[in-house]
């Protein structure tokens, strides 16, 4: 009787050891299957163009995009021109236009002339590059505080999406949300 009981206990121990090894090898497969299932979750809307497998891009592009923004606020249009490619596609609230570098500098000179002082409070930024290395963008989130020509101060939260090519801006898509004045 002791031998049967001992053999049964040994069988249970071996069975328990084998099951835990099977579970250990199954766990990574299950995790991988779960991760794949999550990435294949149905989306409410189809993408207009295929996803480009974005990766973190060049920090130099961030420095160049911020330098162009600073050049605008400082009225340094020579430095601003150095940060623009041969042409620049500009998209603002009521504007979508592709301009030559010279036209873009004239445009920004005119726009900057409507402001007094401008201050930028940078919240965050991210540079990205597509997996095929064809598209590079910098997104900057910031608060812009300005004084108009009459001396009145105003502010807005701004998101700039800047497409970069060879370290130069070739597209600027700006979204602005005005901040309501306190009563």
Is 35 in the same domain as 62?
A: no
14 with 73, same domain?
A: no
What's the rounded Cα separation, in Å, for the pair 167 and 136? 9
Judgement on whether residues 62 and 142 belong to the same structural domain of the protein: yes
CATH number of the domain encompassing residue 61 = 3.10.450.50
| Predicted local distance difference test score (pLDDT) of residue 74 | 97
Q: CA 45 to CA 180: how far, in whole Å?
A: 33
CA dihedral angle for residue 131, residue 137, residue 142, residue 147, rounded to 10 degrees: 180
> Is the domain of 32 the same as that of 85?
no
Q: Which domain, by its residues, includes 10?
A: 1-41
Task: Output the tens digit of pLDDT for each of the chain's 183 residues.
Answer: 444 444 444 444 444 555 444 444 444 454 444 445 456 788 899 888 888 899 999 999 999 999 999 999 999 999 999 999 999 999 999 999 999 999 999 999 999 999 999 999 999 999 999 999 999 999 999 999 999 888 899 999 999 999 999 999 999 999 999 987 666
Distances (CA, A) of 10 to 2, 18, 74: 12, 12, 81
The verdict on 153 and 90 lying in the same domain is yes
Distance CA 32, CA 24 (A): 13
pLDDT value of position 6: 42
**According to the model, what pLDDT value does residue 9 have?**
42
pTM: 0.74
């Amino acid at each position: 009787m002791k031998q049967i009981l001992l053999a049964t206990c040994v069988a249970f121990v071996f069975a328990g050891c084998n099951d835990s090894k099977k579970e250990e090898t199954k766990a990574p497969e299950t995790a991988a299957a779960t991760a794949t299932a999550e990435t294949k979750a149905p989306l409410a809307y189809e993408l207009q163009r295929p996803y480009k497998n974005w990766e973190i891009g060049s920090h130099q592009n961030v420095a160049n995009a911020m330098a162009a923004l600073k050049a605008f606020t400082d009225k340094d249009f020579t430095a601003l021109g150095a940060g623009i490619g041969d042409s620049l596609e500009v998209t603002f609230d009521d504007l979508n236009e592709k301009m030559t570098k010279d036209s873009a500098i004239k445009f920004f000179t005119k726009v900057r002339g409507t402001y007094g002082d401008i201050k930028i409070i940078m919240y965050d930024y991210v540079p990205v590059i597509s997996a095929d290395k064809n598209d590079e963008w910098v997104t900057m989130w910031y608060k812009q505080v300005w004084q108009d020509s009459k001396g009145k101060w105003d502010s807005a939260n701004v998101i700039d999406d800047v497409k970069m090519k060879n370290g130069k801006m070739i597209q600027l898509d700006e979204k602005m949300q005005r901040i309501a004045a306190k009563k």
